[in-house]
Structure 1
Amino acid sequence: MTHTERKAASCENSMQIDRRRFLGTTGLAAFGVTLGISGSGADIPAAYAQGTAPAAAAPKGPQYLKFPGKNEKLILLGDKPLVAETPESLLDDDTTPIEKFFIRNNGQLPEETKTPDAWKITIDGEVNNKIEITIGELKSKYKAVTRRIVLECGGNGRGAFSPPARGNQWSNGGVGCAEWTGVPLADVLKSAGLKPSAKYTAHYAADLHLSGDATKPTISRGVRIEKAMDPNTLIVWGMNGQPLPNIHGGPVRLIVPGWPGSASQKWLTRITIRDKEHDGPGMTEFSYRVPIKPMIPGDKGDPANFRILESMPARSVITSPANGAKFAAGTKELKLRGASWAGDLTVKQIDVSTDFGASWQRAKLEKPKNKYDWQRWTASVKLASDGYFEIWTRATDSKGAMQPHQAGFWNPQGYGGNAMHRIAVLVG
């Protein structure tokens, strides 16, 4: 066999393995739930989907979150720290309800305050006037705004990388779109008076490090001063018309729209303005960074070849029907709904496919309520017969970048993975 033939065979084998993995974990296996098979869909042995003897042990099914006020279908990805994602089918609301909103913590959950309006935030560093202000004073001194904004974990989509990257293996559920109420950070920074040397923010919070060491910040990220001055970057105390829940950073947090959610510091206590790029925990080495030059998947990586992940990539998800849905024999048409977003950009086009990407059909794309809101979409697809179908969706952003078939530009901690979303349905 020539080198070219070996390479082609290797590529074909890789594609077959990837396809079996999809069928075994998110495709045929999901029909277990719909058809009433005991346990989760993932309890069906992958070998059934692969067409081989069912001798291997069944893969472990998803673990579900048990937390007061949260939907019982949220999938638990980790308990130290607490991390849970939202199945795509639970993202079907225009505004994500609090009970369906994903959870991403880095440290220990702080105790809930009984006097939220007395909570104090400090603005210091490269400013003319250091500010110490309570939430109550923020409410009385500044004009509040409410905006519907997508909040997305920087590692959303990480589970699609091969070989696996470090960290929580998110599918597409590290995202939600809530109505946030607060004041523009820019208004407060203007009151503090930024010095010409102001280049970057540094965010600090009240959550305790997992080690229990109170001298260690759990995570301390920041953003370029230009992003901090974006009128949509907010200090918020409200979520969906309610006081910001403790689990989501209450009584006060930052919302930095379009960028990794780690920049939207929860339980905010201080913002220090720096004269250089911030270097706190979560800002250096490979943390929230992506390669400048593409690296070999699985390689160790050189930190000098990495840049900070800022605007998140375009993504589209199918929110209805759910993966694994079963329809009556003779069904000839399926109504689809979904959501899409593209970081600092907008989504200009959504396409769907029912033939594994051989052909594509344009979906109807709705306008966002405001900048950084996600864009809902709908489509109706025809089915020629009964049987098994996969439905794929892809987004194209306002600069023409399209979602890839696979998570590309591998990096050690799996950021920026925005592979197309695929669901499986069975007719008849």
Structure 2
Amino acid sequence: MTDQKTTDDLRRLLAEDPEAADLALFGRVSHADRRGFLRGAGLAAMSTAVGMAIPYHRNIPQGFIPAAMAQGDPLAGKLGLILLSDRPVNAETPPELLDDDITPTDRHFIRNNGLLPDDMDPETWTLTIDGFVDTPLELSIADLREQFEVVSLALTLECGGNGRAFFDPPASGNQWTWGAVGCAEWTGVRLREVLDKAGVQANVVYTGHHGADTHLSGDPGKEPISRGMPIAKAMTDNILIAFAMNGADLHPMNGAPLRLVVPGWPGSCSQKWLTRIELRDQVHDGEKMGGDSYRVPAHPVAPGTEVPAEEFEIIERMPVKSVITFPANGAAPVTETEVRGHAWSGDRTIEAVDISTDFGATWMAAEVDPPLNDGAWQNWRASVVFPRPGYYEVWARARDSEGVMQPFAIDWNPKGYLNNAMHRVGLQVA
């Protein structure tokens, strides 16, 4: 049986100090040799962690942690996530692990399009601001800290494809269910203030974002993703160039050492491993800005319809949505329990959350907290009494500040974006 303490210790060590973890496991200190041999105690520790011998251990690359240990995160430090793909790494959080008001770093989802950069040293990292600006800037992380106000905000990030698994016919892409969302506390500087210092020229209409992650092909001339946003959105107060997450350095899988955080819009706008922001006089045409990437048909279409490229429009704000984080689906509560979760709606606030325990025949209002700040999700709760033992479902629906209600189901679209259908959990009431 796997030694859980060994497993957890190795996960956390790799997250906190990759070189020390690599030395402990592999007996190496140099990162120049990408494929050495495991030696002595390192092999013994890894074999103990996975619960058996590793026949091909000589082929294990430097920095590798077995999937049996990672449980959803090949680089460790993420606990309980469900791995959807490992090249690139994409992993979601089960709803019951999102119960915290602020999402812990080790439970925040991962959405990657390429491979992590080899060098993520915050001491040598630079950010370029160029394009149609009066004064191009090249800023270190130290410059950002010294020249601009450092702020911490709770901000909600959600993948545009969250909920894709529930489309019929199936939509291509990572089959996210409910857990490609989180609300961490991010620390950094306001994008608006950095752009103000560079001087935004009158002809600017869009930003273009660039990161240091590498394309899956290994071609240095290709970017895995390079998206942007209208300049009016970029100049709002709650968009951060972030260098910390929940009071610590960014996790490597969440964009260390520098990233954008654009709450309320698809997570693809929040470029990770951020190296450059260019100001454009046209809609940005970077990787995954065209075709059907992060776009939906401008009008409803029948399931399975082939939609011409010119009929797609770029996704901007995310729709009104809620998630139930307690009790977990399949739980067996007694006849009375608290039900709680979170709700959010793009650039808007949540006015109400209702829940039903009789398949939508009747609804009761939940208590809804105000957001901690603009861009944070809102926590909600309600006390529910079940009249007798049996199987029940709890449904939740949110209504935002513009009166838009979360639907029972949404129209199909080719890439499975923007699924904000009501969350439901089944309960076996004892």
TM bucket normalised to smaller: 0.7 to 0.9
Letter in 2 for 1:219: I
Distance 1:65 1:387, change over 3 A: same
RMSD: 1.2
Q: Is the 8 A contact 2:326 2:340 kept in 1?
A: yes
Give distance in 2, aligned partners of 1:165 and 1:85.
Answer: 17
Residue of 375, 379, 382 corresponding to 1:372: 375
Residue of 89, 108, 118 corresponding to 2:124: 118
Between stretches 416-425 and 103-112, larger displacement belongs to 103-112
SS in 2 for 1:166: coil
Q: Is the 8 A contact 1:112 1:246 kept in 2?
A: no
Question: Which residue is equivalent to 2:133?
Answer: 127
Letter in 2 for 1:420: M
Correspondence 1:280 to 2:290: no
Residue of 311, 336, 361 corresponding to 2:364: 361
The alpha carbon displacement at 1:73 in A equals 2.0
Give distance in 1, aligned partners of 2:382 and 2:131.
Answer: 51
Give distance in 2, aligned partners of 1:95 and 1:382.
Answer: 28
Give distance in 2, aligned partners of 1:64 and 1:394.
Answer: 31
Question: Which residue is equivalent to 1:424?
Answer: 426
- Pairwise mapping of residues 294-309 of structure 1 onto structure 2 (< 5 A)? 294-309=300-315
SS in 1 for 2:268: helix
Q: Is the 8 A contact 1:160 1:419 kept in 2?
A: no
1:15-34 CA-partner distances (Å, limit 9, x unpaired)? xxxxxxxxxxxxxxxxxxxx
The alpha carbon displacement at 1:411 in A equals 1.5
The alpha carbon displacement at 1:109 in A equals 1.5
Q: Is the 8 A contact 1:290 1:415 kept in 2?
A: yes
Question: Which residue is equivalent to 2:211?
Answer: 205
SS in 1 for 2:100: coil
Give distance in 1, aligned partners of 2:411 and 2:291.
Answer: 17
Give distance in 2, aligned partners of 1:161 and 1:371.
Answer: 31
Give distance in 2, aligned partners of 1:181 and 1:352.
Answer: 34
Correspondence 1:101 to 2:104: no
Compute the TM-score of the two structures, normalised by the length of structure 1. Answer: 0.83
Question: Which residue is equivalent to 2:173?
Answer: 167
- Pairwise mapping of residues 62-101 of structure 1 onto structure 2 (< 5 A)? 64-101=71-108
- Pairwise mapping of residues 220-235 of structure 1 onto structure 2 (< 5 A)? 220-235=226-241
Give distance in 1, aligned partners of 2:419 and 2:373.
Answer: 25
The alpha carbon displacement at 1:149 in A equals 0.4
The alpha carbon displacement at 1:231 in A equals 1.2
Give distance in 1, aligned partners of 2:152 and 2:183.
Answer: 13
SS in 1 for 2:207: strand
Question: Which residue is equivalent to 1:245?
Answer: 251
The alpha carbon displacement at 1:118 in A equals 2.5
Letter in 2 for 1:410: W
Give distance in 2, aligned partners of 1:365 and 1:129.
Answer: 45
Question: Which residue is equivalent to 2:21?
Answer: none
1:211-250 CA-partner distances (Å, limit 9, x unpaired)? 0001001100000000110111110101000011211101
Give the percent of matched residue pairs that are identical in Structure 1 and Structure 2: 52
Letter in 1 for 2:296: V
SS in 2 for 1:307: strand
SS in 1 for 2:193: helix
Question: Which residue is equivalent to 1:14?
Answer: none
SS in 1 for 2:208: strand
SS in 2 for 1:138: helix
Correspondence 1:385 to 2:392: no
SS in 1 for 2:123: helix
Letter in 2 for 1:316: S
Residue of 408, 412, 415 corresponding to 1:413: 415
SS in 2 for 1:132: strand
Give distance in 1, aligned partners of 2:96 and 2:120.
Answer: 33
Q: Is the 8 A contact 1:118 1:136 kept in 2?
A: no
The alpha carbon displacement at 1:112 in A equals 4.5
SS in 2 for 1:323: coil
SS in 1 for 2:201: coil
Give distance in 2, aligned partners of 1:226 and 1:79.
Answer: 36
Q: Is the 8 A contact 1:355 1:390 kept in 2?
A: yes
Aligned length: 361
Give distance in 1, aligned partners of 2:428 and 2:188.
Answer: 45
Residue of 348, 352, 374 corresponding to 1:349: 352
Structure 1, unaligned runs of 5 or more: 1-62
Question: Which residue is equivalent to 1:44?
Answer: none
Distance 1:245 1:369, change over 3 A: same
Residue of 401, 405, 411 corresponding to 1:402: 405
Question: Which residue is equivalent to 1:31?
Answer: none
Give distance in 2, aligned partners of 1:141 and 1:267.
Answer: 21
SS in 2 for 1:117: coil
Q: Is the 8 A contact 1:291 1:409 kept in 2?
A: no
Identify the structure with bigger relative contact order (alpha carbons < 8 Å, sequence gap 6+).
Answer: 1
Letter in 2 for 1:313: P
